[in-house]
Amino acid sequence: MPDRGIFMTSSEPAGEIIDKGESPYPLERMKPSQEKDKVKAGRANPKGTRCLYVADDICTALAEIRPWLGSKITLYLFKIIKDLQIVDCSQDKSTLICINGEPEPSKREERVWADINRAFSRPVSRYDFKKEYLPTQKIAMFFKKKGFDGLKYKSSVEKGANYVFFDLDVAEPIKEKSFVYNTKHIDFDFEQINY
């Protein structure tokens, strides 16, 4: 678990304009809706199932929402308020190549965890995300059923890690630690994939 707090963002419009700039989004808007029919499917949760998605550093939290140029982003520091059991899927260190026979069990296990991390980290198409999220949702709901409080996986857009908490009340936003950011610059890098 991160030792300095966790960060959550919202790219919805910031609050009303005040003299010193934009005000952060209200606290109650930083967690998913209480109404199940308004809860969208996510990387770890099926539609209607509430989960709290956070990151362990500011840049990761801001980048994970994929803001557009000029968008305003509200960021809150959250404090974890109880001990948690988290499945750490972020150990993506496997480069298993099998030439002759089966690899030893520890290498196979390492490869499975690396594949799970890649599944959670991989960007998905905005047009077909419901289908693409099904495998990670099933894995996350399995961890939840086994009594875990959440999971950790690497970000694909920044250097930090993301956390998903199954119980929204394990972390509380700190009102005095809320900020509004303006998206000033976005980097893209392209690679041709057909020849």
Q: Give CA–CA dist 89/151, Å, rounded.
A: 7
Q: Identify which of 136, 141, 171 has the alpha carbon closest to the alpha carbon of residue 61.
A: 171
Question: Per the structure block, which two tokens stand in for 193?
Answer: 């994939």
Res 22: pLDDT: 73
Specify the pTM: 0.79
Res 118: pLDDT: 77
Res 165: pLDDT: 95
Which whole-number Å values give the CA distances from 191 to 135, 188, 195, in the listed order? 27, 10, 11
Contact 136, 43 (CB under 8 A): yes
pLDDT tens-digit readout, 128-178: 566 778 889 999 999 999 999 999 999 888 889 999 999 999 988 887 888
Quote the strand ranges of the chain, DSSP E: 6-10, 17-18, 21-22, 52-55, 72-80, 86-88, 150-154, 161-165, 171-182
pLDDT band with cut points at 50, 70 and 90 for residue 87: very high
Q: Give CA–CA dist 56/162, Å, rounded.
A: 6
Least-confidence region, from 30-34, 52-56, 183-187:
30-34
What average pLDDT does range 9-28 have in this prediction? Answer: 56
Half-sphere exposure for 72 (CA within 13 Å, toward CB)? 14
Taking each continuous run of H as one helix and of E as one strand, the counts in the chain are: 3, 9
How high does pLDDT run on average in the chain? 79
Q: Identify which of 74, 78, 72 has the alpha carbon closest to the alpha carbon of residue 57.
A: 78
Buried b (16+ CB within 10 A) or exposed e, 121-153: beeeeeeeeeebbeebbebbbebbeeeebbbbb
What is the identity of the amino acid at 171? Answer: A
